[in-house]
Structure 1
């Protein structure tokens, strides 16, 4: 990799994607990385761990537990430079920039992060199901 590639990457990426596949019908994003790892991310998982300020806040004490997203889908994926993608969800959330580094990290920790999310929902009396109107 060239120094230019690293210089233009504000996230300090170590693992780069080789292929990204949006599976709209399956509500899933798949990413193959250059270290041989491949991750399949359900849309709901990506939505609730979005790196956006809306979800993560501006510090750890502001992190939000996003409920009611069991059926969320992905309508698009846009490149952000050569270091990230913006995922456009069908609930109109589109402010998270998912760096390659972040996608790799949440892929490696997906089971743990999902279990933590489910525990947060339970502790707060929230549900994965959307509220009925």
Structure 2
């Protein structure tokens, strides 16, 4: 299963770099829980904070590596604190778990939006496979 997820992530990265998304029509931050993006072709996506955090395009020290597979877990309740413009091509999202190095291009938002259900399903399967949860670990 992890090979499937890795293959899918590589395929998405290839699609992301090879296919140009339609022109962005609007971007809306509905902090702390969602980002909404709409494109000129009519595509409109509501992307939850947890989903965006898990699929951040940045490397993150809070990722757990299991058998070479990077898995982010415990982010069900993560929130978005802000979205800062980066040039004309995207935004840097700052999450309340202090992750702030991911720059989301408009093309990447489109890729995430068009593949949201498959990506989320695969993410949940990966967590189950490794005995991890979307919920944060309980404090001791």
| Same fold at TM > 0.5 | yes
Equivalent residues in 2 for 1:42-121, closer than 5 Å: 42-54=48-60, 64-121=70-127
Instruction: Structure 2: state its 5+ residue gaps.
Output: 1-16
SS of the residue corresponding to residue 54 of structure 1 reads coil
Name the CA shift for 1:70/1:80 in 2 (closer, same or farther; >3 Å): same
TM-score of the aligned structures, taking structure 2 as reference length? 0.77
Q: Which runs of 4+ in 1 moved over 3 A?
A: 10-14
Is the 1:11–1:99 Cα contact (8 Å) retained in structure 2? no
* Distance 1:106-1:63 versus aligned 2 partners, 3 A rule: farther
TM-score normalized by the length of structure 1: 0.81
Count of aligned residue pairs for this structure pair: 119
Could you list the runs of 5+ residues in structure 1 that have no partner in the other structure? 1-9
2:135 counterpart residue number: 129
Give the Å deviation of 1:34: 1.4
Give the secondary-structure state (helix, strand or coil) at the position aligned to 1:53.
coil
Per-residue deviation, residues 26-52 of structure 1 (Å, max 9, x unmatched): x01101111110000010000001111
Q: Secondary structure, in 3 states, of the residue corresponding to 2:135?
A: coil
Of 17, 25, 29, which aligns to 2:24? Answer: 17
Contact 2:90 2:104 in 1 (8 A): yes
